[in-house]
Amino acid sequence: MQTCIIFNPSARGQRAQALCSRLQELHPYFAVRLTAAAGDARRLAAQAVLEGFTTVVAAGGDGTANEVVNGIADVPHGLQNVRLGILPLGTVNVFARELGLPWRLDAAIKTLATGRETTIDLGRADFDANGQAQTRHFLQLAGAGIDSRAIELVTWEMKKKLGKLAYVVAALRAAKEKQPVISVQCGHDLSGELVLLGNGRFYGGSIPVFPAADLRDGLLDVCIVPKLNWPSTAQIMGGLLTGKVHRWSSATCLQVRQIRLSSSSRVILQLDGENTLELPATLTVRPKALRVVTP
């Protein structure tokens, strides 16, 4: 048995038990381990690596995938020895869309069993927490400003009732607040009230906010929006929907190998759609560091 599935039951609510049974029915040779709280997927993934599994699968949303890849990276040589698989069971599943993974469970399981492997870049955020240097990896995207604030405002009840629209509603609420200024250092000294970073093209679903991004180019794509108000928020929404943020707003778009974000106010940085840390943080890319199962 070489494949371990880390399954987040909350990704499918009351259908979780039936889905878990279906997973084991489709492929009885996969070990399935369930998470019970935030952080469990990271711990279980690290444990799976230590036990000798060569493929560790995140069955859930982007947050579960983020935890699993961090668990793999926590083990020395884990990224070299273990490949990441994805079963897209979450609300948005941006990284799965980037990889072109199938949505039907049967087809996704088949991809894990017979799919090919590719190697991609892995994002990395370095920061201090409680006086200690910390590292957190990310697969697809990061953001600071109104998007991380919107994630903070979204409740489980909102997600259950509204699905992806919950984030739009939360973003509109966040737009009413005074926006902190984020300082950006990346060879140039810039600033803005919203900073979006992409390892891949997609953000918030299948929206190509970073059309030039490539998971294998060793670069982060960055959009810096200088000012947020109701008119500019509407423009950004239009840019997000068309994948042309730079045309719809005064955003500065660039590609970097390293970027430093800081603020004199409290600003959260989200990684793969989950609020993870507070600025300051330095973000880089580990070129072709991650092995991933793809169709």
* Angle, alpha carbons 55-23-39 (nearest 5°): 60
pLDDT at 290: 98
What pLDDT, on the 0 to 100 scale, is given for residue 100? Answer: 94
In degrees and rounded to multiples of 5, residue 185 shows phi and psi of -120, 120
Vertex 129, ends 68 and 188: CA angle to 5°? 90
Segment among 87-101, 183-197, 241-255 with least mean pLDDT: 241-255
How much is the pLDDT for 207? 81
Confirm if 283 and 124 have CB atoms less than 8 A apart.
Answer: yes
Q: Is the dihedral of CA 247, 250, 254, 259 positive or negative?
A: negative
Of 177, 169, 170, 168, give the one whose Cα is nearest residue 229: 177
Active-site residues, by number, are 274
Tens digits of residue pLDDT in 70-88: 999 999 999 999 999 999 9
Q: Does the pLDDT of residue 165 top 70, yes or no?
A: yes
Cβ-contact 73, 138 below 8 angstroms: no
Q: How confident is the model at residue 1 (pLDDT cuts 50, 70, 90)?
A: low
Of the segments 147-156, 209-218, 231-240, which one has the largest average pLDDT value?
A: 209-218
Looking at residue 158, what is its pLDDT? 83
pLDDT tens for each residue of 243-294:
666 565 678 889 999 999 999 999 999 999 999 999 999 999 999 999 999 9
Full set of structural domains in the chain with CATH: 3-114 (3.40.50.10330), 124-288 (2.60.200.40)
The CA distance from 14 to 19, in Å, is 9
Q: What pLDDT, on a 0 to 100 scale, did the predictor assign at position 91?
A: 77
